[in-house]
Structure 1
Amino acid sequence: MRIGLVIDSVCDLPRSYIERNHIEILPITVQIGDAIRADHRDEKQTLDFLHSHVAERGAEAETMPFSVQDIHDLFLKKLVLDYDHVFCLTVTKSRSQVYENAMQASYAILNDYKPIRAAAGLTAPFALRVMDTQNLFAAQGVTAVEAVRMIEAGEGVAKIRARLDNLAINTHGYMVPRDLMYLRTQTRLRGDKSVSLFSATLGSALDIKPVLYCNRGETRPVAKIRTFEAACRRLFDHASERVRVGLMTKTMCLSFGGELEEMRLLPGYQSLIDTCREHGVEVFESVMSLTGMIKVGKGSLAMGFASDPHDFKD
């Protein structure tokens, strides 16, 4: 059976890895004033955008996921011919419309695919599974990497599905934003009032950065640490501790809202890399998606891994 994988552009994985493993992307459109760009996880395009004058108005930007019709057309023009079963892994539905759009599109796809496959001489049925990763940014990459590993190992659909379902609820996403005022502006555009003007102003004045945590679709701060560098160091140290305890998959995903060399100079980074190497954990580093940077601001650090439940100690 030919099994394919689809992710949305919020999922932070290296472009080279996505291309090498023939992963399809559901792009998200970014609009700032009259400027419109589709986020296809092109790292050069993302960095060019970051360094352009348009990025100065990023807090005013709006993002639009692939529509139901766009997803329907992508599958019928390409994926129903290339594969017999497709897993579509989306950003958590608590933060985006991507999952709902993909679910709605899936009903029409499963109704419309038969004549297209028949015309191509394909007699086997086509199946599609839309899955909510219950996370975002770098943490989305954890389930995608495991899906690739299992597909390459020749595992069956039922086993892959059960594994990814279990992995989704045990994936832990972390993020350290660099600019709280930017984050507040973006969250208010979405009707989210979780970052108040008072906390953003006070945090900026005192240079206090929150460590944000996402699991099972719920996002909350788990620590408030003075200076961005100190917060990143604590996050890297926390991840190293979890690696030593033992992860559910040998995968650590990191993404950064800027040049990766800047991330690699952060305190605690090299210690995490050394710990992962010592324990056989593969590290995936990528420039944060354009959509992600629009949502949380440039210069932010994101991380994801799968492990047993645990507390973050600041």
Structure 2
Amino acid sequence: MPRIALVTDSTASLPEDVVAERGITVVPVQVVIGAAVHDEGSEGATPETVAAALRDFRPVSTSRPAPARMLAAYEQAAADGADVVLSVHLSGEMSGTFESAQLAAQQASVPVVTVDSRQVGVATGYAVLAAADVVDAGGTVEEAATAARERAAASASLFYVDTLEYLRRGGRIGAAAALFGGALAVKPLLQIADGRVATVEKVRTAARALARLEELAVAAAGEAEVDVCVSHLASPERAAQLASNLGERLEGQLAGEVWCSELGAVLGAHVGPGMLAVCVAPRV
């Protein structure tokens, strides 16, 4: 049976202990603050540094890993004994990371199967874990790739932002939509649909938006067994409350505890402080 290595990028937002336990290689995406370039992670760009820079109106942008960096990850996997690599990444509609993976795959000394999750954040992470389950059970790389795609497609990524300005700056939402939201003091609820940011609905107050976010998350769970993660940027109290509420309301359906964590620096750079997100990932 060929030995399969799993690679993803840092936006998958998997806890470090989970990455270590499951043997997943994480390639960092980069954050550019002013003229300084940092790898996303505890030793580089953190959510705290990004939130502070945004509040201070310092320029913040992100950069995909270079194909050479992806290739280095694949070659290290091969050196460690892998016969094939499965590389799962955030939506190609939102980042050039998946393109870097494809370009690197063409030069790798072992076969590399690349998967565009069409998702962002921990929804991509859950897709990687679905692939890891297949690999651990002795499945093929094709079966693992299918599991990743199906888990990502079944997952709901819902989020609230205090302002659309940061998404507008990063080109992730149209200028007209950002202007509309700001002009009417609308609090938008957004989702990832077909790999892109899309509007779910607009409400007038933050309190109403957060209540609706909870309702939409419960509706997304349906009656399935689910993994749930609440993420935030500089909004820990609201995130903890939402995680607690969802834990109570989805008791009996949860595959494990509700994860609650600060959003990674790369995604945080595009949504800004105050952002709150929920990923609901059915077990498929």
* Residue 96 of structure 1: how far off its partner (Å): 0.7
The 3-state SS of whatever aligns with 1:129 is: strand
Structure 2 counterparts to residues 122-201 of structure 1, below 5 A: 126-187=110-171, 192-196=173-177, 198-201=179-182
**Residue aligning to 1:106:** 105
**Residue aligning to 1:223:** 201
Q: Does 1:46 align with 2:54?
A: no
From the superposition, tell whether residues 89 and 141 of structure 1 become closer, same or farther in structure 2 (CA, over 3 Å): same
* Residue 302 of structure 1: how far off its partner (Å): 2.0
Separation of aligned partners in 1, 2:209 and 2:122: 17
**Residue aligning to 1:74:** 73
* Residue 133 of structure 1: how far off its partner (Å): 0.2
Q: CA contact under 8 A between 2:91 and 2:119: conserved in structure 1?
A: yes
Separation of aligned partners in 2, 1:104 and 1:35: 26
Q: Does 1:246 align with 2:224?
A: yes
The 3-state SS of whatever aligns with 1:277 is: coil
**Residue aligning to 1:121:** none
Separation of aligned partners in 1, 2:160 and 2:43: 20
* Residue 47 of structure 1: how far off its partner (Å): 4.1
Give the number of the structure whose residues are more often helix, by fraction. Answer: 1
Separation of aligned partners in 2, 1:140 and 1:171: 9
Separation of aligned partners in 1, 2:254 and 2:282: 15
Q: Does 1:233 align with 2:211?
A: yes
- Please report the RMSD computed on the Cα atoms of aligned residues, expressed in angstroms: 2.6
**Residue aligning to 1:119:** none
The 3-state SS of whatever aligns with 2:73 is: helix
**Residue aligning to 1:19:** 20
1:295 to 263, 270, 277: 270
After superposition, give the CA deviation of every residue in 1:139-192 in whole Å (9 maximum; x if it has no partner). 2222122122223333332322222233333332211112233333333xx7x5
Gaps of 5+ in 2: none
Number of equivalenced pairs? 280
From the superposition, tell whether residues 37 and 57 of structure 1 become closer, same or farther in structure 2 (CA, over 3 Å): farther
Gaps of 5+ in 1: 114-125, 309-314
The 3-state SS of whatever aligns with 2:131 is: helix
Separation of aligned partners in 1, 2:181 and 2:175: 10
> What amino acid is the match of 1:5?
L
**Residue aligning to 1:37:** 38
Identity across the alignment (%)? 22
Separation of aligned partners in 2, 1:57 and 1:137: 25
> What amino acid is the match of 2:77?
L
Q: Could you say which structure has the larger radius of gyration?
A: 1
From the superposition, tell whether residues 138 and 271 of structure 1 become closer, same or farther in structure 2 (CA, over 3 Å): same
After superposition, give the CA deviation of every residue in 1:11-69 in whole Å (9 maximum; x if it has no partner). 122233223322211211111222321103x39961441464x3435673121111112
**Residue aligning to 2:92:** 93
The 3-state SS of whatever aligns with 2:11 is: coil
**Residue aligning to 1:123:** none
Separation of aligned partners in 1, 2:30 and 2:44: 17
* Residue 230 of structure 1: how far off its partner (Å): 2.3
Q: CA contact under 8 A between 1:138 and 1:303: conserved in structure 2?
A: no
> What amino acid is the match of 1:14?
P
> What amino acid is the match of 1:63?
T
**Residue aligning to 2:191:** 213
> What amino acid is the match of 1:301?
L
Separation of aligned partners in 2, 1:23 and 1:139: 16
* Residue 195 of structure 1: how far off its partner (Å): 4.6
Q: CA contact under 8 A between 1:138 and 1:254: conserved in structure 2?
A: no
Q: CA contact under 8 A between 2:31 and 2:37: conserved in structure 1?
A: yes
Q: Normalized against structure 1, the TM-score is what? A: 0.79
> What amino acid is the match of 1:233?
A
Separation of aligned partners in 2, 1:58 and 1:27: 24
